[in-house]
């Protein structure tokens, strides 16, 4: 698997394979949705980005994140593969934020 260099802003992240590319993922079980930075997504093979009715989301610091669309990704956690619907954005400070899976 290819290893992708990630932003140092995600120092509390874990490295996991996402669509067979190892990236640093910030796991936030309190998050309502999963997000991936468009640049991170651009560096991996993936299904087409679907349009979505949700155009922005309110975040914990009171701001907003604009959304580009929705993509289905394969995330491997502890040797288990799971499909995750992930919103694509330019506004994320780390490579990927993974909400509670399941």
4 found inside a domain: no
32 found inside a domain: yes
2 found inside a domain: no
73 found inside a domain: yes
Mean of the pLDDT values across residues 26-49? 93
31 found inside a domain: yes
Range of the domain at 85: 13-98
Report d(CA 25, CA 94) in Å as an integer.
Answer: 8
Residue 80 clears pLDDT 50, i.e. is over it: yes
Number of domains in the chain: 1
Residue 6 clears pLDDT 50, i.e. is over it: no
- CATH number for 61: 2.40.70.10
Report d(CA 55, CA 4) in Å as an integer.
Answer: 28
pTM, 2 dp: 0.84
How does the average pLDDT of the chain come out, rounded?
88
| Cα angle: 83, vertex 87, 93; to 5 degrees | 115
Point out the least confidently predicted range of 7-16, 35-44, 82-91.
Answer: 7-16
Q: What is the pLDDT of residue 61?
A: 83
Q: What is the pLDDT of residue 7?
A: 46
Instruction: Give the residue among 47, 86, 80 at the shortest CA–CA distance from 67.
Output: 86
Other C-beta atoms lying within 10 Å of the C-beta of residue 5? 9
1 found inside a domain: no
76 found inside a domain: yes
8 found inside a domain: no
Q: Measure Cα distances from 63 to 17, 49, 55, 59 in Å.
A: 29, 24, 14, 6
């Amino acid at each position: 698997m290819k290893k992708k260099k990630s932003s140092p802003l995600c120092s509390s992240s874990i490295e996991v394979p996402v669509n067979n590319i190892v990236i640093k993922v910030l796991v936030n079980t309190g998050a309502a949705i999963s997000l991936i930075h468009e640049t991170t997504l651009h560096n991996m093979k993936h299904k087409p980005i679907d349009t979505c009715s949700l155009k922005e989301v309110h975040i914990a610091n009171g701001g907003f994140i604009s959304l580009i669309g929705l993509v289905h990704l394969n995330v491997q956690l502890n040797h288990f593969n799971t499909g995750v619907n992930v919103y694509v954005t330019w506004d994320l400070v780390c490579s990927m934020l993974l909400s509670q899976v399941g």
